[in-house]
Chains A and B, each alone.
With several copies, the nearest count.
Chain A
Amino acid sequence: MRLRDRFPLLAADPKLHYLDSGASSQVPADVLDAVTRFETTQRANVHRGVHRLAEAATAAYEGARDEIARFFGARREEIVFTSGTTAAINLVAHSFGDALAAGDEVVISELEHHSNIVPWQMLRDRRGLKLKVLPVTEEGRIDLGALDGVVTRKTRLIALAHCSNVTGAVVDLARVVAAAKSAGAAVLVDGAQRVPHGPLDIPELGVDFYAFSGHKMYAPHGIGVLWGKRERLEALPPFMGGGDMIRSVTFERTTYAPPPTRFEAGTPNISGAIGLGASCRWMSGLDWPGIVQEEMRLTGRLLGSLAKVPGLRVLGPLGLQQRLGVVSFALGSAHPHDVAQILDRHGVACRGGHHCAEPLMERFGLAGTTRATIAPYSEDADIDALLNGLDEARRLFA
């Protein structure tokens, strides 16, 4: 059975070539069903009720946390639900970051998504610390050779994308962790683009924080996870205040609940969490070696074909080592919006623009790129359509 057929939106529109999963993936029927089941048979608020629905909702919500923990090889207390990657990183920028002081240093890279840049700039401005930036190689990778020069005794945190949302390059986290260890710094990984492409043992990475979003991994919008090493989370103060995250409240003194509850103020996105749990369960049942092989074959085919398009420049590794199927390119001087618009005429959904990575665009002297993302449901026909569309775009604009 084609994987594609398990996605209602894709199944309903055979002419749609969805190559925009890097922005938001599509969602399988299993996940939609889990969400609908909650809304029509279990809906209630969680944690605070004893009636049947509240019990069912709590069991489904906390069951989702278990499912996610299992999928990522983590413990349930390490899975903090957030509204997405951005909120997860902002949480760390406050709960971890606000303990930093002038003189301390935070290291990011030139290829980060704005969500892994702006929170650190805001922290820098709040606390007067220093923000240092690892450069990017011509190939579109974080230049880990620069770690030695950039990481110092004053480094408190290194925050990097596991996989670039523009170049598809996957960073060698072992080297980052080693550098951080020697400096006594913590490591935060922005895993938004890594998690859709298969299971991962997060604790094994040796990092301290790992953030990702549900909407890029076949789950609803508005839900994401901050994974944090248990001892780290236990040492952190809360970020937002409100219901559920407290142990007791008086006007003089409020004491906070243990993680993960401490970081989940207010009524959570219950259906979103249940959807993310369902997506982890669904992903667990897939043949990942087969899918990864197919994703890589398609990525290789796409890179090979793009290399033959006159005037086209790929932004990112041309080989398949240490990269995922996130493929960006510039078509001569054609603007990515115009290119994406023509592709749309061919039924191809691609993203065009700076992909919330303006500093990287600056680095390569581009206003933006067109980006195609290979997902488990991608097929050769999607690439055929993309190449046809590019032909027309080239005729029109180049």
Chain B
Amino acid sequence: MSDSLYQDALLKLAREAPRQGRLEPNDVSVRLDNPLCGDRVRLDLRMSGPKIAELAHEVRGCVLCQAAAGIVGLHAVGLDRAGVAALAADVDRVLSGQDPVCDALRSFAPVASHRSRHDCVLLPFQALKESMKGG
């Protein structure tokens, strides 16, 4: 179980997560902390109408959190609020042991059985949802 947590694909996603860093200027900037582990995600968005035009993320967190931010970097541009909600729902699905719609989320399947690590994966997506609240 633990063994499969850190598969190569996930480690690579974490290491090479697209869109790392800050985005200036931006329309929305959100910071979220996980009080239990000290993980921290900063998300900067530039919007085009209701849709995300560009984004950047900065993570101080574990590999799972970094990889999750990588998914955001890969998949969030172009999404509107409903699209973000769908992506977040897909993450919930994979963490509850079901098959995800988005193939890239499969790397997180082994996390399902590690409840204490769910928040690590969820944090970037929570930040993403948070950042769309204004819209």
Binding site for B on A (CB under 8 A): 47-50, 54-55, 58-59, 246-248, 257, 335-338, 341-342, 344-345, 352-354, 358, 361, 367-368, 396-397
Contacts and interface: CB of A to CB of B under 8 A. Distances in A.
A354 B33 contact: no
Given A48-B36, A337-B62, 10 more contacts: A246-B35, A247-B35, A257-B35, A336-B37, A338-B64, A341-B5, A341-B6, A354-B37, A354-B38, A368-B38
Contacts of A342: 2, 6
Nearest to B65: A335
Interface of B: 2-3, 5-6, 11, 33, 35-40, 60-65, 114-117, 120
Given A338-B6, A341-B5, A248 B35 contact: yes
Nearest to B2: A345
A257 B36 CA distance: 10
A375 B40 CA distance: 32
Given A342-B6, A354-B37, A54 B116 contact: yes
A337 B120 contact: yes
Contacts of A47: 36, 116
A344 B115 contact: no
B11 A337 contact: no
16 contacts: A47-B36, A49-B116, A50-B116, A54-B116, A58-B116, A59-B115, A247-B33, A248-B33, A248-B35, A337-B64, A341-B5, A341-B117, A342-B2, A353-B38, A358-B38, A367-B37
Nearest to A346: B2
Contacts of B62: 335-338
Contacts of A49: 116
Contacts of B40: 367
Given A55-B115, A345-B3, A367 B36 contact: no
A47 B116 CA distance: 7
Contacts of B117: 50, 337, 341
A56 to B, nearest CB: 10
Nearest to B40: A367
Contacts of B36: 47-48, 353
Given A345-B3, A354-B38, A367-B38, A335 B116 contact: no
A354 to B, nearest CB: 4
Contacts of A248: 33, 35
Nearest to B37: A353
Given A247-B35, A257-B35, A354-B38, A338 B114 contact: no
Contacts of B39: 335, 337, 367
Contacts of A336: 37, 62
B113 to A, nearest CB: 9
A344 B120 CA distance: 17
A367 B61 contact: yes
A285 to B, nearest CB: 26
A358 B65 CA distance: 19
B41 to A, nearest CB: 12
A353 B60 CA distance: 12
6 residue pairs, one from A and one from B, having the closest CB atoms: A335-B62, A345-B2, A337-B62, A354-B38, A247-B35, A367-B38
A335 B33 contact: no
A45 to B, nearest CB: 12
Contacts of A361: 38
A10 B42 CA distance: 42
Contacts of A337: 37, 39, 62, 64, 117, 120
A257 B115 CA distance: 19
B78 to A, nearest CB: 30
A368 B62 CA distance: 10
A342 B3 CA distance: 8
B114 A55 contact: yes
Nearest to A354: B38
A155 B22 CA distance: 45
A54 B36 CA distance: 13
Q: Which of B2, B39, B40, B114 has the largest number of chain A CB atoms within 10 A?
A: B2
Contacts of B120: 337
A345 B110 CA distance: 14
Nearest to A337: B62
Nearest to B35: A247
Contacts of B116: 47, 49-50, 54-55, 58
